[in-house]
Chains A and B, each alone.
Chain A
Amino acid sequence: MSDHSIYKPQSAFMQWLERRLPIAGLVHSSFVVYPTPRNLNYWWTFGGILTFMLGVQIVTGIVLAMHYTPHVDFAFNSVESIMRDVNFGWLLRYLHANGASFFFVAVYAHIVRGMYYGSYKEPREVLWILGVILFLLMVVTGFMGYVLPWGQMSFWAATVITNLFSAIPLVGDPIVTWLWGGYAVGNPTLNRFYSLHYLLPFAIAGVVVLHIWALHVVGQNNPTGVEPKADKDTVAFTPYATVKDAFFIGVFCLFYAWFVFYIPNYLGHSDNYIPANPGQTPTHIVPEWYYLPFYAILRAIPNKLLGVIALGASIILLAFLPWLDTSRVRSANYRPLYRQFLIVFFIVVIGLGYLGSQPPEGGYVIAARILTAYYFAFLLIVLPLLGLFEATKPLPNSISESVLREALAAGASALPPTGARA
């Protein structure tokens, strides 16, 4: 991280500080002069968006915690009091609830980017695995947060998800009782979920530091998948990446604000405005939209234990992508077959999301089984075999060569002085 440090403190105080804690030099080398590939497109801005959204969730969450009561008798009403009585409470809660959704929008875009451009491949395996860990932490944190308002969907989501552990042979039931702190989901469950929902975002922030550290060790991937070879292949992080990230965070916030101010409940479920009732299950129970593909996989399998295993495997397998994908070419732009299979894979995941929102009967179940089969076949069969048989397109010699060739093809009149020939 300090390879590119040319930081020279100007003021006497900064010189004094730099000799004792070189934090300004660290920031300078990591976020100012740090070289980023010059051909990064907007898909590379989602890392910055995710960091921004984590900040939004932590800030709004901490202030919501000042008004929320984690007790089964008061939780629902305290959330309603935030909506009606607390100054700007409606805004803070809608920012937080929709913030979770947009956090997941950004993380899915980030994962799509990583899979399309092969960002998980050598030497970025650890970076990728840290990302899968971050996604798992986000899933757990989001689930626990959804339980806190203690509406019908909160209660039954908690019941269904904790019962996934009852599928474990022998120790399943004691584990579920231990998770609940009682004989059913109840006050102890709500209390501990609140405690953990407050803790986990800081665990996420810690892993984000590792994630960014690992990124700055191996460097960013880019749309060609060819590593930067010379100085002309890269540009400085500031201003190029900083401004691009900031601009797209602004665009992202337009959509975020549209949901917060105009359709704040569009992504929620109306049943969660009914207080939790342990005696009655809602007739149609669904998780939040960002869990629907995995929920569809769970329901597609008619055996309880196998269904839970498939649900877990559908996420855990992603951590093994660096080894499941045997191709040496990173970017899907140079892998015609992989590109097609991958786009079908993305459509399948969206299809599973739709099926997860539908009742588990008839044609929906059959369709979910077919799509689940593709999901696993892609990861376990297609990916390993494609690397052995696929004829890939020739890679450009360098990032700058590919950039200049594109510029020529687009008929750009003004070429940069560094390379007049393509």
Chain B
Amino acid sequence: MAHLHSRGKGANKTPPDCVASGLPQVGRDGAFRRRTGVPGAIRSADGSKPARREEGVTVTTISAAEPSRRDFLYIATATVGAVGAAATLVPLVGQMNPDASTIAAGAPVEVDLKPIAEGQIVQVFWRSKPIFIFHRTKQDIERAQAVNWQTLRDPAPDSARVLPGHEQWLVVVGICTHLGCIPLPHQGNYDGWFCPCHGSQYDSAGRIRQGPAPLNLPLPPYQFVSDAAIRIGEAAPANNKVRT
């Protein structure tokens, strides 16, 4: 590139710094080299030893000289090319994200809670993810509330895991936060879930208690549309604590 640049701007200029430094003038610009046809000059353009010394001189001349119109055209063309190449990445990368039909199929779903007996855990699907709905017994709730939650790996009180006034209903995404397996209900040492893949254990509030998983089972956005029905996919308006 250095030679390309110098060819444009140095063609009609005398090189005083070059003369002063006592370096040979050949190889300062392409026009001169072509005109003389000195074999040594051609060799220096290939980057053999003497050329490297000259190149150092040439570079200082470039930085001091006014950029020519040709320099501007080179840079502008390269920039447009680079921006164009980067822009083609947008559709190529974007096509891999969820498409319109997948997003449309991810609309909120309503679940009737009446058939779920106390102590029962049912699994429904929302956005192809299993959602656990746990109708907790009084004992489950008391145990979950009695835990010293500040010491847990992902600290959260039981009140942050359920909606106020609906403590008997725990609604969590049934995907182990380790590597995405579905934990088995009513197993493990904490009244909750046990993941068969890598041994993570969750309690009756869906909090991680043991094993490699880093986080509690996530809470999907949901709200109660009546006392016995929820809509998954829409956050409860008055409750900021519900995480998506």
Contact = CB atoms under 8 A, between A and B. Distances in A.
Interface of A: 156, 159-160, 162-164, 166, 177-184, 186, 188, 192, 278-285, 299, 301-305, 307, 359-361
Interface in B85-100: 93, 96-99
Interface residues on B, range: 20 to 34
Nearest to A359: B199
B157 interface: no
12 contacts: A159-B180, A160-B181, A163-B179, A183-B98, A183-B102, A188-B102, A278-B128, A282-B196, A285-B181, A303-B214, A304-B213, A360-B197
Contact of A183 (B128, B177, B211): B128
A177 B98 CA distance: 7
Contacts of A163: 178-180
Contacts of B184: 281, 283
A195 to B, nearest CB: 11
Given A279-B123, A303-B212, A181 B97 contact: yes
Interface in B170-216: 177-182, 184, 195-199, 211-214
B106 interface: yes
B9 interface: no
A305 B214 contact: yes
Given A188-B99, A281-B197, A303-B214, A182 B180 contact: no
A360 B128 CA distance: 27
B50 interface: no
Given A299-B212, A303-B212, A304-B213, A280 B102 contact: no
Interface of B: 93, 96-99, 102, 106, 123, 125, 127-130, 177-182, 184, 195-199, 211-214
A280 B195 CA distance: 11
A181 B98 contact: yes
A279 B96 contact: no
B196 A281 contact: yes
Contacts of A178: 93, 96-97
B96 A159 contact: no
B178 A304 contact: yes
Of listed A188, A281, A361, residue having the most chain B CB within 10 A? A281
Contacts of A180: 98
A160 B180 contact: yes
Nearest to B102: A182
Contacts of B195: 281
B96 A304 contact: no
A302 B179 CA distance: 13
Given A181-B98, A304-B213, A304-B214, 15 more contacts: A159-B181, A177-B98, A178-B93, A181-B99, A183-B129, A186-B102, A186-B128, A188-B98, A188-B99, A188-B102, A285-B181, A285-B196, A304-B212, A305-B214, A360-B198
A154 B32 CA distance: 68
B212 A183 contact: no
Nearest to B123: A279
Given A181-B96, A181-B99, A160 B125 contact: no
A159 B98 contact: no
B96 A284 contact: no
A183 B125 contact: no
A360 to B, nearest CB: 5
A184 B128 contact: yes
Given A181-B97, A279-B125, A360 B199 contact: yes
Nearest to A184: B128
A186 B99 CA distance: 12
Contact of B130 (A179, A279, A301): A279
Closest CB pairs A-B (n = 10): A183-B127, A163-B180, A184-B128, A281-B181, A163-B179, A160-B179, A159-B180, A281-B182, A304-B214, A182-B102
A203 to B, nearest CB: 17
Nearest to A284: B196
A218 to B, nearest CB: 25
Contact of B129 (A166, A184, A303, A359): A184
Contacts of B182: 279-281
A279 B182 CA distance: 7
A156 B179 CA distance: 10
Contacts of B199: 359-361
A106 B102 CA distance: 42
Nearest to A300: B212
Contacts of A303: 212, 214
B29 to A, nearest CB: 37
